[in-house]
A and B are shown apart, each in its own frame.
Chain A
């Protein structure tokens, strides 16, 4: 499974790691919905760190569609919320 961290690149992850990552991901969603900025930052950091640790980075020249996408480490709660609104990531 290919996971993209926006602004960083892509990593290849074994499906076996998904359960562990899912917990953090669900936690992140809950914190985003409740507006817990501090918790959001902490969980996002943990999730990104886990993806980097468990995944093998893909070369920059590799052109593979990402199955999962994560916000960049600098992304704020409001930015991510905006990205997930109806307009999606790309305007238009």
Chain B
């Protein structure tokens, strides 16, 4: 096949990773992942509640059985006191059957208690993980948003536009992408700073300002040069005055006399 469909497909595949990167918003993916974690946490909590409910039900049954057991023991004692050993035997044998049930329920109770503790611990750990993820997620989102804004601004300067892309999502790409965007924003900043890209923000000096600065700088240099020349001219006259027999102090005290010495 060499038609339009195939050629467009090939071009797309060649650019697939780039397109994927552009289309995918890691913030949405992170939020989705967080939502899933919350749902999981909710399930675990529901599990803990279910186990706790079963445990309480068992405790109630155990209490009832133990009450009955005590009652049968009392009845046995009374029957024996009344000389009814047969009745006492019956009460004690019923009590023995109840005791067996109590033992079984106690075993179940212990097992459930162990499960409940494990699940509670798991829920706490999961809660901590979800909390940590939320913090990390918000940090990544903020960094991503900032990097994206930086990139957009940078791209607007140099005329690069964001375009369409094929759709795709992958949670593990989020951090990479943020780093990439930061690097890209950093690279654009560097290009702007070096002058390789034009900065249309108006913050940087334009060529007119640079020329003005140069001219005014030049004027300063000229002025300074003239001042120094004048100083030097004054200095050489003094030197001539010293050579002519006057000391420097005298020359400084009577600078107006200098021309007269020259004439002599």
Contact = CB atoms under 8 A, between A and B. Distances in A.
A46 interface: no
Interface string A14-54: 00001001100110110010000000000000010000000
Contact of A84 (B8, B18, B164, B166): B8
Nearest to A91: B163
Contact of B166 (A22, A66, A92): A66
Given A69-B8, A88-B15, A26 B161 contact: no
A84 B7 contact: yes
A89 B11 contact: yes
A89 B164 contact: yes
Contacts of A47: 5
B1 A22 contact: yes
B245 interface: no
B5 A68 contact: yes
B6 interface: yes
A90 to B, nearest CB: 5
Chain A contact residues: helix, strand, loop or mixed: mixed
Interface residues of B, number: 27
B244 interface: no
Contact of B168 (A4, A25, A63): A63
Contacts of A88: 11-12, 14-15
A25 B14 contact: no
Contacts of A26: 2-3
Nearest to A85: B11
Size bin of chain A's contact surface:
20 to 34
B5 A91 contact: no
A89 B4 contact: no
Contacts of B11: 83-84, 88-89
Contact of B6 (A65, A68, A83): A68
B153 interface: no
28 contacts: A25-B1, A25-B6, A26-B2, A26-B3, A29-B2, A29-B4, A29-B7, A63-B168, A65-B13, A65-B16, A66-B166, A67-B9, A68-B5, A68-B9, A70-B4, A70-B8, A71-B4, A83-B8, A84-B8, A88-B14, A89-B8, A89-B11, A89-B164, A90-B15, A90-B18, A90-B165, A91-B163, A92-B160
Given A29-B4, A66-B12, 18 more contacts: A25-B3, A25-B5, A29-B3, A65-B166, A65-B168, A68-B6, A69-B9, A70-B8, A71-B8, A84-B8, A88-B12, A89-B11, A89-B12, A89-B19, A90-B163, A90-B164, A91-B161, A91-B163
- Give the 8 A-B CB pairs with smallest separation, nearest first: A25-B3, A68-B5, A69-B8, A88-B11, A29-B3, A68-B9, A69-B9, A90-B15
Interface of A: 3-4, 18, 21-22, 25-26, 28-29, 32, 47, 63, 65-71, 80, 83-84, 88-92
